[in-house]
Amino acid sequence: MRQFLLSLLVIFISFTPLSLSFAKEIAAPDFAISNDQLPNKLSDLKGQVVYLDFWASWCKPCRKSFPWMNQMHHKYAGKGLQIIAINLDAEAALAKTFLDKVPAQIPIVYDPEGKIARDYELLGMPSSYLIDKKGKIRFAHKGFFTRTQPLYEQELNLLLNE
């Protein structure tokens, strides 16, 4: 019976989205931003809530996250939310093909060498980090699951209302 329960727990964990909230305030690693729609560095966005999303063209869940991020951008940008999608494709053409099929209405930053991704110690693909107005990482997610969209939006609202 014990082995059976342990097996069920392992199966449950493998199909459950990972959502971490941080009891300690962890400073978001700063990085230079190469996008004309944004300031020069992440730290220049202090005072806003930032949703960082790491994605790649081969990532199937990313196809579902982009429409949601576009929707959140339209709903909350005026309230202080900045969404940044960080692409990890080594070849820019792959990202362009993805974006032709799944349009982004949010700024895209390219990280083909994975430097920003290493600084954030990615949990998997896609991964997202929710940064509060003080520049601290408050929530992190591995994967993107449509059933947890209300949780993601609840976290956004929590930080926007602080």
Which single residue is written with the structure tokens 């600084």?
119
Domain extents in the chain: 18-160
Residue 8, pLDDT score: 32
* C-beta of residue 32 within 8 angstroms of C-beta of residue 20: no
pLDDT above 70 for 133: yes
Q: Once rounded to an integer, what is the mean pLDDT over residues 98-127?
A: 95
Q: What's the mean pLDDT in 60-75?
A: 97
Q: How distant, in Å, are the alpha carbons of 8, 38, 68, 93 from that of 129?
A: 29, 18, 15, 26
Looking at domain 18-160, its CATH superfamily turns out to be Glutaredoxin (3.40.30.10)
Structure tokens at 9: 């727990």
pLDDT higher than threshold 90 for residue 14 = no
